[in-house]
Amino acid sequence: MSDNSFGRLFRVTTFGESHGPAIGCVIDGCPPGLEINANEIRSELRRRATGKSRHTSQRKEKDDVQLLSGVFEGRTTGTPIAMLIENTDARPRDYTDIATKFRPGHADYTYWKKYGIRDYRGGGRSSARETTMRVAAGAVARKFLKQKLGIEIQGWLAQLGPIRTDREYDAQMIDENPFFSPDASVVPALEKHMDMLRKSGDSCGARISAVARNVPAGLGEPVYGKLDADLAAAMMGINAAKGVEIGAGFDCVDQLGTEHRDEITAEGFLGNHAGGVLGGISSGQDVRVSVAFKPASSLRIPCRSIDVQGQPVEVITKGRHDPCVGIRATPIVEAMLALVLMDHVLRQRAQNGQEWNINE
Amino acid sequence: MSDNSFGRLFRVTTFGESHGPAIGCVIDGCPPGLEINANEIRSELRRRATGKSRHTSQRKEKDDVQLLSGVFEGRTTGTPIAMLIENTDARPRDYTDIATKFRPGHADYTYWKKYGIRDYRGGGRSSARETTMRVAAGAVARKFLKQKLGIEIQGWLAQLGPIRTDREYDAQMIDENPFFSPDASVVPALEKHMDMLRKSGDSCGARISAVARNVPAGLGEPVYGKLDADLAAAMMGINAAKGVEIGAGFDCVDQLGTEHRDEITAEGFLGNHAGGVLGGISSGQDVRVSVAFKPASSLRIPCRSIDVQGQPVEVITKGRHDPCVGIRATPIVEAMLALVLMDHVLRQRAQNGQEWNINE
Amino acid sequence: MSDNSFGRLFRVTTFGESHGPAIGCVIDGCPPGLEINANEIRSELRRRATGKSRHTSQRKEKDDVQLLSGVFEGRTTGTPIAMLIENTDARPRDYTDIATKFRPGHADYTYWKKYGIRDYRGGGRSSARETTMRVAAGAVARKFLKQKLGIEIQGWLAQLGPIRTDREYDAQMIDENPFFSPDASVVPALEKHMDMLRKSGDSCGARISAVARNVPAGLGEPVYGKLDADLAAAMMGINAAKGVEIGAGFDCVDQLGTEHRDEITAEGFLGNHAGGVLGGISSGQDVRVSVAFKPASSLRIPCRSIDVQGQPVEVITKGRHDPCVGIRATPIVEAMLALVLMDHVLRQRAQNGQEWNINE
Amino acid sequence: MSDNSFGRLFRVTTFGESHGPAIGCVIDGCPPGLEINANEIRSELRRRATGKSRHTSQRKEKDDVQLLSGVFEGRTTGTPIAMLIENTDARPRDYTDIATKFRPGHADYTYWKKYGIRDYRGGGRSSARETTMRVAAGAVARKFLKQKLGIEIQGWLAQLGPIRTDREYDAQMIDENPFFSPDASVVPALEKHMDMLRKSGDSCGARISAVARNVPAGLGEPVYGKLDADLAAAMMGINAAKGVEIGAGFDCVDQLGTEHRDEITAEGFLGNHAGGVLGGISSGQDVRVSVAFKPASSLRIPCRSIDVQGQPVEVITKGRHDPCVGIRATPIVEAMLALVLMDHVLRQRAQNGQEWNINE
């Protein structure tokens, strides 16, 4: 039961391998009448593109997305929206060396154990290339959420290796540096750290945070489709993710109840340790999520591994890789946040539709 | 779209309110031929029961589960297994005071915003009482996993408020103290801390960890049904959860790639920072998960809130509550871990069945 | 993957065996705020009850349904609605004779081949007893459809064996005879035919038709959740069903295009060969469906069969059975029609909610 | 909730409009290791292609399917298989005349009522062009079913208008005439009838039958995923279908129980009125299904209709259409039969995998 669809009612199915002919997605369930065009999607894709600075992979994909269906005269029709991107800068030959070896920390070993066969070229289906289509589909969701409900989504780099990057938060700044850091003052330190890693051939982890503002109260389907549970799945399902927090996250372990509970006044909540979710349902406060990304495992520094026969081998990863995969994860976290919210808007409308005015 | 079913192929649907006539569940998709009886389930339920020590809620439920269907002459038949527990120690009158007030940190406000109506008695559907049925369903999954695949699942209290409780790990110890602590030496400190909270009327958070051993490689359905993503949803969906980690979790942010990647030798992996999951698929290593639970919000210490008219009110929570909900979360975390693994065993078998010998 | 849930958004899960302790269902996704009580459901159940006339099974079940959850102070809360009926007139001993034999025309053989185990008492899960819960869940759907959208559903016996029973159609008549015949003049012939079958120990087939009036245009989800496709599944999934027609059904094979197409004028459609569905979406006309039910296979007339060892045996069915299962199928067809429409109302609202006024 | 995916575990999602840039599909859940190439799929597509004889639409599509993912070195990898066909002989201008008019008997009116917008070019999403991808996906399923389980699927034209075409059944014959008739002797009559219709501008209905041989016992998931229920949905969901029968179908209404029940001997069943399905589960006998297709509504003969303002208009359909859509439905019925069986093979394997040897 391969499972390549995300969402229940705003349902995104992705396909494609890193170095195959193309990647693509199908969005099923998009409300009709939404104005959308390929350029809007391309503009979101550029935010996660490789090759924009020396700090990310040098693969240069045009990501020239085509809209194949579901849009007529500039508006969605309610039928499936298919999007396709041809892979133009694939270099499958970079990978012949690892055709029979398993790269530690990669999905090579587990795909092979699961399916008994794997497309080893660039990680095949397990490559972060797949996340391109999450951003593409997320762009449609964001447009709807923004236009119909006024929801705004923003992600940022909260930490890179040992460097905490959001002590100062300046939203304007985020898209003006290659790290999605909201704190201009740490950018030189980040550049230095990344240059150091590139030289040593090593990599580092990162923490990405995101917020959704103007989310109406009432989103989330207890008790097994809670908003926070769906966010956790969405974030943990991004390549390299190892941890997810909502609101206070793991800090709540050390908190007292009197400290954590967000008191309410006629003017609103007095805090947001909850991260905008109570009992699995949005409270109308900002929805806040934080995700840990592990350091990339594709390193030039050799390591011990085995081959498909179980024999010991040494592995060195060539190809073009990100020393910190977390950096480009920012737009992906935003996209997944948008997809979860979009799905829950439709789910909420299904059960509580008539009585519930989404714009109030 | 209320969403009260968990799992795709081993599908558990729960129902029931905290102070309604009964709670129950239906398991759909259980393989036939599994020996199971009500006593085995009752024995699991006793581990999460309230009223066992002075440190948890004093509600005393017999949790006398009945098997209504799906089991014939002691074995599962492949048809839906229904289980029912009558609520015997419900005290709905404890809650009339909060019928029109919202308790901060609770689902009162969000259920009311979502549905426009709520069963206020003891939290109704949002009560942790619902998790009883997760443990009941989990007992069936655990039996199958143990018997057919040799999978062993163990959870423990890793931290309670400021007290780290798993510096020493002794599995034997876990069920021998009321905290599920694997470290006998901290139990006195835990008791003291809990007594202090009970006196002050405050509460504290906790971190629960769990491991599944002997999990075969190959479980997990990329790219949107990954094992770690499903675990994240399962754990974040437990009442009061605010964070989930797989393997190294948030510690990976500070790690270098050379440190995090688990090298492989002919004898096996040299580490398990991955927590047993690579690319969303189990690697055959121990699956490791950690969950943060917030401090309970039902406190005797008054706080500010509003009522259904939006008017300011003071709220004091009566009723019988846990000062640290995390303690009793241990068997729930184990149950959710079992349910996720069970579902993935069936999902893996669906697509890769014939070629894949689950016992190898 | 046992599959005991029906519907996507108004989702009904049933459980229970014919001669087990109880049968029940859980409705997940019901909109909140609907007034409903157990007596309304009991009144629907009486229409399909056995033992009402000499022409149906003499099993006497009180069908005393209990509402266990999801209803608070007389209104639905949006959480799962659980209903339970205890089996009181079970006689499992009637079935020991067939514990190791397969009754031709029954599910005995196929359940055994599928699961390797079966609850042979009264057909276990394959018994029409399960349809009680379809009627119970259908009662909730009908209430909503009637109250919120004005939809009216009516089924009737269109043919019984060789006797066409709807040449004259008088809706008033339908509930006034034990056959659900809309034509009073054929009732004596029906009685005579049924008496003959009871004497001979044989059985006969039936055709049940149903109509839903005031269905809004727009229900149905192309191209794999079409309204007619979902109706076909719903009807063919009823015990003993062998054929389903929408509108003209198989008569369309002989029609010309000029005859079949329903022309449209400013006043509306000039015909309804389509049965209210075009391109899988409701047109606003009456939705019309017809279902063929096979003659019951539980006969006192002996027949050839085999036992679990594959040895030839003679089978005679004792127990209390319907000589024409089609008769009591009328309220079941109505219930399934209601469940499909209810689900599609919610599905339509999910995608097209805001712009689409369900009452226009 | 647009619903463009078919199947639970072998899940096919289609996209694309009749006169848009391309149509395509994604198969998710295909077992790995199956040898498949684009030419095998093309060869199935040629069977349903238009423009092969004067009796079907003259649109000439090359249907040059591309495999975009999920196949590596000639074998499936277990990841999503994407297929794409560019529309090359689209003539959207043929349809400007009906941009604001509703063709009676078409989905024009209902799509507009549902979505408030429609791609009117050639029926857009509601066009039979979509079924191309059902045949493409079905080709993969058929390959697996044939190779791994020995299942053979064959469909044929059973009736065309008033002409019953399967009184003589010669499987060899079916692909040797443009009607999929198994009876060579009626072909001249069919040609004459079709020529007559083409001259008059009218159309006729058809009945298509199909059989699957060597289906193992045990497929089908009671009580809401029964094999016959899923077949009914699959067939009724094909464009223009109005009725579905399993086995004896509507003939069972007139049968006696002693006539209908298929007795069993040590050598097997003595009849197959059941059509290979008992209690919703395959019995090991041939699975038999029959489908009624209405006469096409796109006629040169004018008819009354309305436009989007509700004003009366006359409609004449230009474009290139099939006078009997049922003819080309034969490979589509086969494809849907293959998709249902394939899905159920995986579903059965999920729950009953280990104990159940699919080849026995």
**pLDDT given for residue C320 in this prediction:** 67
How far is residue D360's CA from residue D344's CA, in Å, rounded to a whole number?
17
Q: Are the Cβ atoms of A260 and B294 closer than 8 angstroms?
A: yes
Reading the block at residue A339, the tokens are 């997809």
Q: Is the pLDDT of residue A59 over 90?
A: no
Q: So what's the ipTM on this one? A: 0.96
DSSP D263: -
How far is residue B349's CA from residue B346's CA, in Å, rounded to a whole number?
5
DSSP C91: -
Phi and psi of C252, rounded to 5°?
-65, -20
Q: Is the pLDDT of residue C61 over 80?
A: no
CA atoms within 13 A on the CB side of C130: 28
B92: confidence class by pLDDT, cuts 50, 70, 90: low
CA distance D79 to chain C (A): 21
Coil, strand or helix at A188: helix
**Which of B320-334, C142-156, D136-150 is predicted least confidently?**
B320-334
Query: Does residue A49 sit within a domain?
Result: no
Q: Are the Cβ atoms of B22 and C125 closer than 8 angstroms?
A: no
Render pLDDT for B183-204 as a digit per residue (tens, 0 to 9): 999 999 999 999 999 999 999 9
Question: Which residues neighbour B177 within 8 Å (Cβ) at sequence distance 6 or greater?
Answer: B184, B187, B190
For range B233-246, the mean pLDDT: 98
Query: Does residue B96 sit within a domain?
Result: yes
For range B18-41, the mean pLDDT: 96
Chains that touch C (3 or more CB pairs under 8 A): A, B, D
Reading the block at residue A358, the tokens are 């989404």
Among residues C161, C169, C155, C156, which one has the least CA distance to residue C191?
A: C161
* pLDDT, mean over chain A: 93
* pLDDT, mean over chain B: 93
Report whether A293 contacts A240 (CB < 8 A). Answer: yes
Q: Are the Cβ atoms of B352 and D78 closer than 8 angstroms?
A: yes
For range A39-47, the mean pLDDT: 94
What type of residue sits at position A173?
Answer: M
Q: Are the Cβ atoms of D257 and C295 closer than 8 angstroms?
A: yes
D49: confidence class by pLDDT, cuts 50, 70, 90: confident
Render pLDDT for C62-85 as a digit per residue (tens, 0 to 9): 889 999 999 999 999 999 999 999
For range A36-61, the mean pLDDT: 86
**pLDDT given for residue B125 in this prediction:** 95
Reading the block at residue B23, the tokens are 């709670």
**Which of A76-80, B309-313, D248-252, D297-301 is predicted least confidently?**
D297-301
A267: confidence class by pLDDT, cuts 50, 70, 90: very high
Query: Does residue D5 sit within a domain?
Result: no
Q: Are the Cβ atoms of D350 and A1 closer than 8 angstroms?
A: yes
Query: Does residue C80 sit within a domain?
Result: no
CA distance A219 to chain C (A): 13
How far is residue A297's CA from residue A232's CA, in Å, rounded to a whole number?
23
Residue C167's domain comprises 92-352
Reading the block at residue D63, the tokens are 């249907």
CA distance C72 to chain B (A): 6
**pLDDT given for residue A61 in this prediction:** 77
- What residues of chain C lie within 8 A of the CB of D218, using their CB? 110, 113-114
How far is residue D166's CA from residue D168's CA, in Å, rounded to a whole number?
5
Chain B residues contacting D, CB < 8 Å? 9, 29-33, 78-79, 148, 222, 346-347, 349-355, 358
DSSP D188-227: HHHHHHHHHHHHHT--B-EEEEEEEESPPTT--BTBTB-H
Helices (H), chain C: 38-48, 108-115, 131-144, 187-200, 227-236, 257-260, 325-352
How far is residue C283's CA from residue C275's CA, in Å, rounded to a whole number?
9
Query: At how many degrees (to 10) do helices B325-352 and D325-352 cross?
Result: 130
**Facing C109 at nearest CB: one of D229, D283, D294:** D283
How far is residue A9's CA from residue A347's CA, in Å, rounded to a whole number?
7
Helices (H), A28-167: 38-48, 108-115, 131-144
CA distance D31 to chain B (A): 5
Render pLDDT for A216-241 as a digit per residue (tens, 0 to 9): 999 999 999 999 999 999 999 999 99
C58: confidence class by pLDDT, cuts 50, 70, 90: confident
- What residues of chain A lie within 8 A of the CB of D13, using their CB? 5, 13, 26, 28, 80
Q: Are the Cβ atoms of B28 and C9 closer than 8 angstroms?
A: no
HEC string of B6-52?
ECCCCEEEEEECCCCCEEEEEEECCCCCCECCHHHHHHHHHHHCCCC
* pLDDT, mean over chain D: 93
For range A5-27, the mean pLDDT: 97
Query: Does residue C203 sit within a domain?
Result: yes
A63: confidence class by pLDDT, cuts 50, 70, 90: confident
As beta bridge partners, residue B210 has B155, B289
How far is residue C68's CA from residue C87's CA, in Å, rounded to a whole number?
16
CA atoms within 13 A on the CB side of D8: 24
How far is residue B163's CA from residue B181's CA, in Å, rounded to a whole number?
11
Report whether A244 contacts A291 (CB < 8 A). Answer: yes
**pLDDT given for residue D356 in this prediction:** 39
Question: Which residues neighbour D5 within 8 Å (Cβ) at sequence distance 6 or greater?
Answer: A5, A11, A13, A28, C224, D11, D12, D13
**pLDDT given for residue A320 in this prediction:** 67
- What residues of chain A lie within 8 A of the CB of C216, using their CB? none
| Strand pairing report for A11-16 and A152-160 | unpaired
Q: Are the Cβ atoms of C29 and A350 closer than 8 angstroms?
A: yes
Reading the block at residue C253, the tokens are 């094979």
Q: How many structural domains does chain C have?
A: 1
Chain A residues contacting C, CB < 8 Å? 9, 29-33, 78-79, 148, 222, 346-347, 349-355, 358
C-alpha separations of A215 from A220, C77, D354 in Å? 11, 23, 47
Question: Which residues neighbour D245 within 8 Å (Cβ) at sequence distance 6 or greater?
Answer: C242, C243, C250, C292, D275, D289, D290, D291
Query: Does residue C81 sit within a domain?
Result: no
Chains that touch D (3 or more CB pairs under 8 A): A, B, C
How far is residue A345's CA from residue D293's CA, in Å, rounded to a whole number?
38
- What residues of chain C lie within 8 A of the CB of D106, using their CB? 278-279
**Which of C121-125, C333-337, D9-13, D104-108 is predicted least confidently?**
C121-125
Question: Which residues neighbour B271 within 8 Å (Cβ) at sequence distance 6 or greater?
Answer: B262, B263
- What residues of chain A lie within 8 A of the CB of B246, using their CB? 236, 242-243
- What residues of chain A lie within 8 A of the CB of B223, using their CB? 3-4, 14, 125-126, 130, 237
Query: Does residue D107 sit within a domain?
Result: yes
How far is residue A339's CA from residue A210's CA, in Å, rounded to a whole number?
13
**pLDDT given for residue A143 in this prediction:** 97
**Facing D26 at nearest CB: one of A15, A30, A124:** A15
CA distance D133 to chain B (A): 22
The answer to whether the bond into C223 is cis (omega within 30° of 0) is yes
Neighbours of C308 (CB within 10 A): 14
Query: Does residue C64 sit within a domain?
Result: no
Chains that touch A (3 or more CB pairs under 8 A): B, C, D
**Facing C82 at nearest CB: one of B15, B30, B70:** B15
How far is residue C211's CA from residue B245's CA, in Å, rounded to a whole number?
54
Phi and psi of B203, rounded to 5°?
-145, 170
Q: Which residue of A has its CA nearest to D126?
A: A79
Top residue of A351, A356, A359 to mutate, by most chain C CBs within 10 Å, is A351
How far is residue B254's CA from residue B249's CA, in Å, rounded to a whole number?
10
* pLDDT, mean over chain C: 93
pTM attached to this predicted model: 0.97
Coil, strand or helix at D287: strand
For range A247-251, the mean pLDDT: 98
Top residue of D1, D251, D282 to mutate, by most chain C CBs within 10 Å, is D1
- What residues of chain C lie within 8 A of the CB of D5, using their CB? 224
Q: Is the pLDDT of residue C1 over 90?
A: no
B360: confidence class by pLDDT, cuts 50, 70, 90: very low
Q: Are the Cβ atoms of C114 and B75 closer than 8 angstroms?
A: no
D63 membership: H or E segment, kind and range: none
| N-terminal to C-terminal alpha carbon distance within chain A | 41
D320: confidence class by pLDDT, cuts 50, 70, 90: low
Task: Give the domain CATH number at B273.
Answer: 3.60.150.10
Chains that touch B (3 or more CB pairs under 8 A): A, C, D
**pLDDT given for residue A54 in this prediction:** 84
**pLDDT given for residue C123 in this prediction:** 87
For range A186-201, the mean pLDDT: 95
For range A346-359, the mean pLDDT: 69
Sign of the CA dihedral with D29 first, then D34, D38, and D44 last: negative
How far is residue B314's CA from residue B22's CA, in Å, rounded to a whole number?
31
**pLDDT given for residue A51 in this prediction:** 72
CA distance D267 to chain A (A): 37
**pLDDT given for residue C319 in this prediction:** 66
Task: Establish, for the pair of chains B and C, how many residue pairs have beta carbons separated by less than 8 Å.
Answer: 156
C355: confidence class by pLDDT, cuts 50, 70, 90: very low
How far is residue D227's CA from residue B25's CA, in Å, rounded to a whole number?
26
Q: Which residue of D has its CA nearest to C131?
A: D223
Q: Are the Cβ atoms of A295 and B352 closer than 8 angstroms?
A: no
**Facing B24 at nearest CB: one of C33, C81, C82:** C82
Compute the C-alpha angle B244/B247/B249, nearest 5°: 50
How far is residue A122's CA from residue A135's CA, in Å, rounded to a whole number?
20
Q: Is the pLDDT of residue A354 over 70?
A: no
